Structure 1
Amino acid sequence: MSNDAIAVPAPGANSKSSFLPLAMIAGMFFIFGFVTWLNGSLMPYLEVVLALTPFQASFILFSFYIAVTVFSLPSSWIIRKVGYKNGMAIGLATMASAALIYIPAAKTHWFGMFLVGQFMMGAGQTLVQTAVNPYVVKMGPEESAARRISIMGILNKSAGIVAPIVFTALILGGMTGHPTTTPTPEEIEQMASNLVLPYIYMALVIGAVAFLVKFSSLPELESEDDSSEKLPLRGALQFPNLVLGVIALFLYVGVEVIAGDTIGAYGRSIGFSNFSILTSITMTCMVIGYILGILLIPRVISQQNMLLVSAALGVFISLCIVFGSNESTSISSLFAFLGAPAIPNTILCIALLGLANAIVWPAIWPLALSGLGKYTATGSALLIMAIAGGAVVPVIMGALSTVIDRQTAYIVMTPCYLFILFYAAKGYKLRSWK
């Protein structure tokens, strides 16, 4: 996920080439994706090591994503006080410190400490993203900003492909296979110990990037006073397209997180051996969706119609997950000639949600902010806070899985996509509550 860019003046005409700043920013977007989508691999391992229920494991996601909502506004205040570059360095240092918390958490098997680490990681990332997004817009011609944003999005999701593979290689070092069955106490202890190394590496890399940012020649951006901050919130709430857009984005982030971060835990629950790299498949589908969006919008299809298609596809796939077979691999067999492994249909459908999800975030934003005028900044803040859906919706699904079976609990996604479908068909057009 990435926060909306803040409107700031462009650097002066005599600024240095934007290549190095953009390269640094690209690296940070890769780090964001690596950290965010690592949750999909972390969840199933913590379920094993800490003997968590699906409901308890859902708080791994809750603690990470709720930090985005809690720290969105404080992050803007910090940046106004210390500047964009220092804000990025502070946020990265916070993320590096958070990575170190996972080490005693793994050694002590203390779930509460894992949650503290997740919350700090989310808070640090929120600060960095609030600072870094303006650079994507301003470090180049404004008419090509959308292209740069799309490239950063692809980098973010590409990191989600790499993270599970790297994480799994480190976690399974010295082990004979994935713990799909009840592990022995010795295996649990080894898995807990193996959790340490990935987070040591992460702390070192993120800490080094924080140091580079702090002492780099990255140009500072000047914030302009935003008079809309003094506007009453109720003024923004008079726009149905905004309010309904916030709800749609809240539900979307929830289903995006479910598709990316629960697929590994679900794969383990049905005995799929390579469960920890399944997030990579979801992210691959999202990257394909991004590319299709770049190629098709608006040449072939409008963003409104693309949102409509994406939501309808989400409804269909979510129902296929609920009513699909955990034994059949008929879908993946269609690609056997490419060397694709046999994957149960339900797992592959969860991954295919990445294709349905890719265009939803960039499509909702312009529709929700359309016609807001002086309330645009307030609307943007509300849309950012909708990222809390990534904290709430997976918890609802986790709670539902304790009442019904884990597969049927995915039905929670269907009404989410139905609301997004309504928004794409009618909700975005509404300009008055009367």
Structure 2
Amino acid sequence: MNKKVFYTSMGILAVMYFVFGLVSWVNAILIPYFKIALELTHFQSYFVTFAFYIAYFVMAIPSGLLLNRVGYKKGIMYGFIFLSLGALIFVPAALMRQYAVFLAGLYCLGTGLAILQTAANPYVTIVGPIDSAAQRMSVMGIFNKSAGIIAPLLFAAVVFKSTDDSTFALLEAGTLSETEKNIILQELIRRVIMPYSILAALLLLTGIGIRYSVLPEIEEKEDEPKEENNTLSVVNPSKKSLLDYPYLIFGAIAIFLHVGTQVVAIDTIINYAGSMGIGLLDAKFFPSYTLICTIIGYLLGILLIPRFVSQKTALQFCTALGLLLSLGVVLANHTVSLFGHTANISIWFLASIGFPNALIYAGIWPLSIHNLGKLTKTGSSLLIMGLSGNAILPLIYGAIGDHYGLRAGYWVLIPCFIYLVWFAFHGHTINYWKREKRIQNEKIDNREG
């Protein structure tokens, strides 16, 4: 692939990752918005993330099969069509003020992203040398998280009014009659109709544009023998299915837990700020703080990987740091004033988790799909299924938060990061399920070395 095609492809992929961010990270403010406008509990409100991300689990394998059948470019167009349809479903959902219809729209949005990410993630990995895949993932991550910074602020600017704090206070006080309350809530929920109608049109146009762009199709090679660990290149012929690659299975679990910690850190932080007495119109900035930390992590990844630090070393450092910061979230107890907010320091530990999370996702992917050959597309589909962690972990957090307090819910982060540390230091090196086979293969490597 020549440089012109490479940079054009990276530019198109950057647009896609920006769209991923706009559609995904707006959930951080949709959760408290729906909680108020649709009168939900914390647990119920986190079905926003469940409906959105469970589509990754259900649709990931069909997405891989779709891409195998029609190729990347047509598959990308179909993904954008699903995104457009999902955004459009918000219109009747708002008119009826029905949470179930909103969840259907979110599921459709998740389906579109499942298709798009099944195409985009291996594309970024394969489009250049695999030892710099984390660097390219970091570039894409900057576009994704930049959109994530903009998304809740843009939503707030379009949907909320300066007088809404007093309106929310009236609703919380419970002094309004049922008729008055319903009028206010109906007006509040219908504010999404115009922005999501415009979004639906833009998503459809983007999909059609990419379908007829210069983005090339990429065909994976059957074998990739030049790897740091040549074990798989020797025994690849005996590996017939995805289940023959333990490091891929462990990687899918790592993706599940990692993205779950990421969405918990971002999508719950507004409600957590609210529990400290910070109003919604001020709390809307906290997801952006988390994503700014993530972008700083991506920038360091671009500068350091692979020239100064290997992507494996970066993954090991970031998983360990994530564990330490998550312990700070549940254990630290001191009030600080920062950026105009007075809050418990634990919320700043929570926002800081965005920094190590930047390079964890980028580190897991190349370690999980190397040497899969023609199984790369379906292997990436399995990793995309891992994104359903975004659906499950927030529900667990919400259930704990409703019963024991929002801060107690963050204990869910600890076992997740412990597993990620294990995968970064050991799990990704396991090529065989049976210990005897691993020992035999190590002996072969030693003789060949």
- Taking structure 1 as the reference length, the TM-score comes to 0.84
Q: Provide the C-alpha distance between the structure 2 equivalents of 1:179 and 1:282, rounded to a whole number of angstroms.
A: 28
Measured after TM superposition, the shift of residue 20 of structure 1 is 5.1
Report which stretch shifted further, 167-176 or 282-291: 167-176
CA offsets, 1:323-362, max 9 Å, x none? Answer: 344x7125x2xxxxxxx32252232222111012111112
- Is it true that 1:59 corresponds to 2:47 in the alignment? yes
Q: Pick one of 92, 108, 121 that aligns with 2:96.
A: 108
CA contact (8 A) 1:173 1:194 kept: no
CA offsets, 1:252-289, max 9 Å, x none? Answer: 11101111211122223332121223211111111111
For residue 384 of structure 2, what is the aligned residue in structure 1? 384
Q: Percent identity?
A: 36
The residue correspondences of 1:243-262 to structure 2 (distance < 5 A) are 243-262=249-268
For residue 26 of structure 2, what is the aligned residue in structure 1? 38
Q: Provide the C-alpha distance between the structure 1 equivalents of 2:374 and 2:70, rounded to a whole number of angstroms.
A: 26
CA contact (8 A) 1:44 1:268 kept: no
Residue 192 to residue 367, structure 1, CA distance change in 2 (3 Å): same
Residue 387 to residue 95, structure 1, CA distance change in 2 (3 Å): same
- Is it true that 1:288 corresponds to 2:299 in the alignment? no
Measured after TM superposition, the shift of residue 173 of structure 1 is 3.5
CA offsets, 1:352-375, max 9 Å, x none? Answer: 110121111122233334676786
Residue 293 to residue 21, structure 1, CA distance change in 2 (3 Å): closer
Q: Provide the C-alpha distance between the structure 2 equivalents of 1:303 and 1:18, rounded to a whole number of angstroms.
A: 21
Q: Provide the C-alpha distance between the structure 2 equivalents of 1:299 and 1:212, rounded to a whole number of angstroms.
A: 35
Residue 189 to residue 394, structure 1, CA distance change in 2 (3 Å): same
Q: Pick one of 260, 267, 277 that aligns with 1:271.
A: 277
- Is it true that 1:190 corresponds to 2:162 in the alignment? no
CA contact (8 A) 1:102 1:113 kept: yes
CA contact (8 A) 2:329 2:410 kept: yes
For the aligned residue pairs, the C-alpha RMSD in angstroms reads 3.1
Q: Provide the C-alpha distance between the structure 1 equivalents of 2:20 and 2:261, rounded to a whole number of angstroms.
A: 19
Q: Pick one of 204, 210, 213 that aligns with 2:210.
A: 213
Q: Provide the C-alpha distance between the structure 2 equivalents of 1:376 and 1:19, rounded to a whole number of angstroms.
A: 23
The residue correspondences of 1:121-200 to structure 2 (distance < 5 A) are 121-133=109-121, 136=124, 147-173=135-161, 175-177=163-165, 181=169, 183=171, 185=181, 186-200=183-197
Which structure dedicates a bigger proportion of its chain to helix? 2
For residue 241 of structure 2, what is the aligned residue in structure 1? 232
Q: Provide the C-alpha distance between the structure 2 equivalents of 1:100 and 1:372, rounded to a whole number of angstroms.
A: 38
Q: Secondary structure at the match of 2:341?
A: coil
1:118 partner letter: L
Q: Provide the C-alpha distance between the structure 1 equivalents of 2:288 and 2:351, rounded to a whole number of angstroms.
A: 9
Report which stretch shifted further, 29-38 or 129-138: 129-138
Report which stretch shifted further, 374-383 or 121-130: 374-383
- Is it true that 1:323 corresponds to 2:319 in the alignment? no
2:341 partner letter: A
- Is it true that 1:341 corresponds to 2:340 in the alignment? yes
Report which stretch shifted further, 58-67 or 195-204: 195-204
CA offsets, 1:26-63, max 9 Å, x none? Answer: 22221111101011011010111111111111211111
How many residues align? The count is 409
Residue 204 to residue 234, structure 1, CA distance change in 2 (3 Å): closer
- Taking structure 2 as the reference length, the TM-score comes to 0.81
Measured after TM superposition, the shift of residue 210 of structure 1 is 2.5
Residue 198 to residue 271, structure 1, CA distance change in 2 (3 Å): farther
CA contact (8 A) 1:168 1:277 kept: no
Q: Secondary structure at the match of 1:329?
A: strand
Structure 1 unaligned blocks of 5 or more: 1-9, 333-339
Q: Provide the C-alpha distance between the structure 2 equivalents of 1:414 and 1:376, rounded to a whole number of angstroms.
A: 31
CA contact (8 A) 1:314 1:414 kept: no
1:200 partner letter: S
Structure 2 unaligned blocks of 5 or more: 224-235, 436-449
Residue 303 to residue 248, structure 1, CA distance change in 2 (3 Å): same
Q: Provide the C-alpha distance between the structure 1 equivalents of 2:429 and 2:105, rounded to a whole number of angstroms.
A: 42
For residue 4 of structure 1, what is the aligned residue in structure 2? none
Q: Secondary structure at the match of 1:271?
A: coil
Measured after TM superposition, the shift of residue 318 of structure 1 is 1.7
